[in-house]
Structure 1
């Protein structure tokens, strides 16, 4: 056998795929399961979350869905809002009623959003051994679609502020958040992440968007590292959301790897992932009152066959 033939037939061992085998939740909730770790959000968990409301104060964690969003018009576009019916169109109605109607054209993941379990996979498979053919241009995602998850995205939320942990306004470019970082943030804040929680992780990256620097916001970023998945798996986190554009540190630290943390989190663990959440006001409020747990509601849109969803998430304290 020639050297060329040997190289061509070798199968590369990817470190994140090896990690995925160890952290896999395939079959944990049955062979037909399509919502993964969101199974951990039980009625009892929602009762616990509701009991955390003390003042009724609301924190809006979402971007505005408009033309000033973070997309550059390439892979995804910002929302295009169009009026389809105007008050002038109702002239002549006897009782002088007026009306207006409108529509929006946009990518489902163009601003604050959730990734469904049909968004990322590898080796031709999505979460729970669903084949890539389950996603088609004509029907969208026939398995692991986002619409299966909506009732589960209300739970106890916990914010871990890694930027403040490091004494920084925002984390350095491409910083990989580890399990040790998450544990250290718990200890600093006096809170513990529990089974069924929706974990919010602040890097400070969102400030670039608030400053109007969309190019910087969409560039190299601090985010989740592969090691952080050990914490998420051990604690049975139901869903995780970050304040950056791609959830994980960018560019990928795995040579030749493309979004390896997504691959393991979504495909192997069945973990719903959120991106581009605004934690700035919430983090300041939690630092002031010392309360880092709250009722979280992040119900997205019930779009059949969707591989993601826009969302306007809310925290109630």
Structure 2
């Protein structure tokens, strides 16, 4: 049942301005009061927690890197199109679910002595990841007309650009436990070096952020990088996603009068099923499941408290993993930074992101995070149609751990008058 996680760490004393110390999730966890030692101590417990649950290793071949997206074929795309067309040719609405990549970077605006949850708004970034900044390299200030009079503007990113800093899909190799990632690949595939023949200037200028020269970076530019030699985001980008999506508006069903779940609320399998029943929508095999908590609306509300390490989210249970496996769910998405609760207590142990292990690593189920669902959810509540065609594909960035994505939804709604 949806509710506060009374057993997990209390993050209420951590404010958004003070999350970032350096750059990375481990630093953010430490800032929230969860020590690196405590995470490492549960590694064997996570293996024990998941060892008797199903996995999809070898199901699509020993070299597979696509995972449960293999389940999306012609019939699944057709089911999505049927859902989109159920109100006729004049009753289809289009939604995009991406958040901007260039927010206000509140995380790095540190105020000395700040305490308590923040009400600052702007970006939904996971602590340690900042939004990107872009700037023009050509525009009306400098452009010279080409023959015939045409002029052009152009731009580029001038800061670090985190591929998982906004609406994105995780690669299947993004999260793992033990020494193997999805489908039995050795964890070393996540750290494969690649040297390029030609160096390209980098935004770090050879500095890794601690005053030390980053490997492969020099005054001449970036000539070597590390990345995934397998189970990166590129197979998912090549395949794309098309199928019947279902929105489960848990926030509207179980939350407050704004349709928000409380900070720290746990979303269970029972909550998902109860929400589907209340909405009158059938969950079918191979559906793409999106669920809404109201978290991103909280991020953009200047009067609301916000805490990315204590967002509501899906929580682990054996039944949930078996249900996802039996239902052959290819992808799960949510309006939160992690889909699941960041810290969860299962039995006597506290885990960090255990569902990333169960879903990405074991089942090969794709995760789509930081989805903007407000307009889609509003229309679903208005017309009672919660299923639709969902299509998407992450940016193809070779060797990357994830990729920005702009999912497109085609949804049936009340027919509109024909154009005259």
Contact kept? 2:166, 2:370, Cα under 8 Å:
yes
- RMSD over aligned Cα atoms: 2.3
Q: CA offsets, 1:174-225, max 9 Å, x none? A: 2221111111112111222222221101112121122147971523111011
* Aligned partner (choices 183, 188, 191) of residue 133 of structure 1: 188
1:154 equivalenced with 2:242 (yes/no)? yes
Contact kept? 1:59, 1:314, Cα under 8 Å:
yes
How high is the TM-score relative to the length of structure 1? 0.89
1:232 equivalenced with 2:324 (yes/no)? yes
- TM-aligned CA deviation for residue 85 of structure 1: 2.3
- TM-aligned CA deviation for residue 97 of structure 1: 2.0
Per mean C-alpha deviation after superposition, the further-off stretch among 37-46 and 253-262 is: 253-262
- TM-aligned CA deviation for residue 64 of structure 1: 1.5
1:7 corresponds to: none
Matched residues in 1 for 2:304 and 2:138: separation? 32
1:32 corresponds to: 63
1:142 equivalenced with 2:229 (yes/no)? yes
Q: CA offsets, 1:214-265, max 9 Å, x none? A: 9715231110111233332221111000111121113332534221111111
1:111 corresponds to: 166
- TM-aligned CA deviation for residue 15 of structure 1: 4.8
* Aligned partner (choices 248, 263, 266) of residue 360 of structure 2: 266
Q: Secondary structure at the match of 1:14?
A: helix
Structure 1 unmatched ranges of 5 or more: 1-9
Contact kept? 2:390, 2:409, Cα under 8 Å:
yes
Q: CA offsets, 1:15-43, max 9 Å, x none? A: 56532541211111111111111111011
Matched residues in 2 for 1:100 and 1:12: separation? 51
- TM-aligned CA deviation for residue 13 of structure 1: 4.3
* Aligned partner (choices 337, 340, 353) of residue 245 of structure 1: 337
- TM-aligned CA deviation for residue 167 of structure 1: 4.9
Per mean C-alpha deviation after superposition, the further-off stretch among 274-283 and 11-20 is: 11-20
Per mean C-alpha deviation after superposition, the further-off stretch among 76-85 and 62-71 is: 62-71
How high is the TM-score relative to the length of structure 2? 0.68
1:102 equivalenced with 2:102 (yes/no)? no
1:296 corresponds to: 390
Contact kept? 1:70, 1:214, Cα under 8 Å:
no
* Aligned partner (choices 125, 136, 146) of residue 71 of structure 1: 125
Q: CA offsets, 1:96-127, max 9 Å, x none? A: 22111112351001111111101000112110
Q: Secondary structure at the match of 2:83?
A: coil
Aligned length: 307
Contact kept? 1:195, 1:235, Cα under 8 Å:
yes
Per mean C-alpha deviation after superposition, the further-off stretch among 210-219 and 252-261 is: 210-219
* Aligned partner (choices 252, 256, 260) of residue 164 of structure 1: 252
Per mean C-alpha deviation after superposition, the further-off stretch among 80-89 and 290-299 is: 80-89
Structure 2 unmatched ranges of 5 or more: 1-40, 86-90, 105-122, 194-224, 412-420
Contact kept? 2:131, 2:165, Cα under 8 Å:
yes
Change beyond 3 A, Cα 1:250–1:18: closer
Change beyond 3 A, Cα 1:294–1:11: closer
- TM-aligned CA deviation for residue 147 of structure 1: 1.3
2:177 corresponds to: 122
2:15 corresponds to: none
1:6 corresponds to: none
Matched residues in 2 for 1:266 and 1:213: separation? 35
1:62 corresponds to: 98
Change beyond 3 A, Cα 1:80–1:50: same
- TM-aligned CA deviation for residue 92 of structure 1: 5.7
Matched residues in 1 for 2:48 and 2:57: separation? 14
- TM-aligned CA deviation for residue 275 of structure 1: 1.0
Q: Secondary structure at the match of 2:343?
A: coil
Structure whose CA Rg is larger: 2
Change beyond 3 A, Cα 1:278–1:244: same
1:182 corresponds to: 272
